[in-house]
């Protein structure tokens, strides 16, 4: 069965830049808290997946973040911690929805993206909070 991808939008560059990668047993990982309230309608019952697409240096990668099922017109919350494996530098990221049936209408009511580990800026000898 065909899948339909519907972009939600790019994550602002300053949010991507402030994220700090951490070393794990499998390599470097950048983590983001992501949550979105969507008001959408589909014709038939369909699974829906929230995806994060990101650029790791020259390579484009994708992570599935959350999934649910929708039918008709519905308001839905999709959220999770996006764990993005990186080999180089995280350049950009965007969010999209994957469904089996096309989305007839979509309203993004709220969108929240924040790095779990953020760079701290120093003012003199004190860290700003």
- CATH number, residue 80: 2.60.120.260
In a domain, 129, yes or no: no
pLDDT tens string, the chain, 129 residues long: the values are: 689 999 999 999 999 999 999 998 878 999 999 999 999 999 889 999 999 999 999 999 999 999 999 998 899 999 999 999 999 999 999 999 999 989 999 999 999 999 998 876 554 444 444
In a domain, 109, yes or no: yes
Token digits of residue 118: 């953020």
Q: Alpha-carbon Rg of the chain, whole angstroms?
A: 17
Alpha-carbon dihedral of residues 16, 75, 66, 91, nearest 10 degrees? -20
In a domain, 128, yes or no: no
d(CA 39, CA 113): 18
In a domain, 98, yes or no: yes
What pLDDT does residue 121 have? Answer: 57
In a domain, 103, yes or no: yes
The pair phi, psi for residue 25, each rounded to 5°, is -65, -20
In a domain, 94, yes or no: yes
In a domain, 11, yes or no: yes
In a domain, 122, yes or no: no
Domain count, the chain: 1
pTM: 0.86
What pLDDT does residue 75 have? Answer: 94
What pLDDT does residue 10 have? Answer: 96
HEC string of 8-53 equals: EEECCHHHHHCECCEEECCEEEEEEEEEEEEEEEEEEEEEEEEEEE
**Domain range spanning residue 10?**
4-117
């Amino acid at each position: 069965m065909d899948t339909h991808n519907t972009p939600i939008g790019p994550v602002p560059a300053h949010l991507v830049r402030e994220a700090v990668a951490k070393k794990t047993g499998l390599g470097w990982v950048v983590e983001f808290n992501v949550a979105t309230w969507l008001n959408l309608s589909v014709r038939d019952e369909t699974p829906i997946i929230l995806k994060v697409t990101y650029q790791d240096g020259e390579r484009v990668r994708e992570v599935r973040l959350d999934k649910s099922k929708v039918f008709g017109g519905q308001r839905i919350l999709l959220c999770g911690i996006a764990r993005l494996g990186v080999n180089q530098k995280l350049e950009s990221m965007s969010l999209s929805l994957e469904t089996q049936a096309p989305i007839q209408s979509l309203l993004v009511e709220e969108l929240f993206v924040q790095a779990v580990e953020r760079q701290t800026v120093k003012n003199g000898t004190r860290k700003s909070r």
